[in-house]
Amino acid sequence: MEKIIDGELLNIPEHVAIIMDGNGRWAKKRLMPRNFGHKAGAKVVEQMCEDAYNLGVKYLTVYAFSTENWKRSVEEVTGIMNLLRNYLIDCIERASKNNMRVRVIGDRTALAPDIVDKINELETITSKYDGLNFTIALNYGGRDELRRAVSNIANKVKAGELEPDVIDEELIASHLDTAGIPDPDLLIRTSGELRLSNYLIWQLAYTEFYFTDVLWPDFTVEDLKEAIRYFNGRERRYGGVK
Ligand code: FPP
């Protein structure tokens, strides 16, 4: 989709994935606890859903909690989980207002039962909306997602439902948590780190990467536009030659 942004005709990425990094450093700079940064970060997520959609983005996927984040202090993990709990409750109303479809990817088996119930409710209620497709990666790890998909496929083979020779890329993709969601066109990571941190490792195979030093709680629509302008300067070849 093409759109004029600040007087410039830009190709808008259909799917933007974000690693929201730097909440802890943002809080530290203010001599506040890390969870203060996560709270500010959660507010930015809400704003970004509106801004991205207004710019013409159709899919937005954010990394809220990784399979590795359990290693953080109990205080921090509890803080993030409480933040997510409240976010999921508020989100039902906000999604209805904004016509937003919400999905959650990741392994739910380790999440608190009340959080799982809220996720199920939110996904069911918002499945009829056709505005922004917002996906939250929660207890998500790219390797773990592949492990679960492989195990699922292996069980189908064992049960005689699937022949091993029909396993192609499309079949694998359809067993991932992101089944039905197109691969991201643009990945944004904030706070100056140049790592993938186990995020969407299958889906990001041909994605353009944009890194910025801005800390996530400081990220604004202007930073998103900058990332989109960067995306427009890249030539996507998908392994071919132009
Ligand atoms: C990375 O910053 C951020 C996280 C691990 C948590 C992200 C969570 C949120 C923004 C809030 C909840 C999300 C939603 C969808 C409402 P960091 O803690 O690694 O920061 P640092 O690198 O500066 O320490």
* CA 12/CA 14 separation, integer angstroms: 6
Kindly report the backbone phi and psi dihedral angles of residue 139, in degrees, each rounded to the nearest multiple of 5, phi listed first: 50, 50
- C-alpha 121/C-alpha 88 separation (Å) is 9
Q: How far is the CA of 219 from the centre of ligand 1 (A)?
A: 13
Q: What is the pLDDT of residue 78?
A: 97
**Model pLDDT, residue 204:** 98
What residue ranges line ligand 1, CB within 6 angstroms? 20-25, 38, 41-42, 45, 62, 64, 69, 80, 83-84, 87, 136, 191
Ligand 1: atom nearest CA of 193 is 22
Atom of ligand 1 nearest to the CA of 41: 10
Residue nearest to atom 6 of ligand 1 (CA): 64
**Tokens representing residue 62 in the block:** 């954010």
* Coil vs helix vs strand at 47: helix
Contact 95, 119 (CB under 8 A): no
Q: How far apart are CA 34 and CA 138, in angstroms?
A: 19
Say how far apart CA 198 and CA 190 lie, in whole Å.
15
> Which percentage of the chain shows pLDDT scores above 90?
93
Active site residues: 21, 69
Condensed to tens digits (0 to 9), the pLDDT of residues 182-203 reads 999 999 999 999 999 999 999 9
Tell me the pLDDT tens digit for each residue of 81-118.
Answer: 999 999 999 998 899 888 999 999 999 999 999 999 99
Q: Does the pLDDT at position 237 exceed 80?
A: no
Q: Which fold has domain 11-142+184-232?
A: Undecaprenyl pyrophosphate synthetase (3.40.1180)
Q: In which band, very low, low, confident or very high, does the pLDDT at 227 lie, cut at 50, 70 and 90?
A: very high
Note the pTM of the prediction, 2 decimals: 0.95
Query: Which are the contacts of 99, defined by CB distance < 8 A and separation ≥ 6?
Result: 129, 130, 131, 132
pLDDT at 97: 87
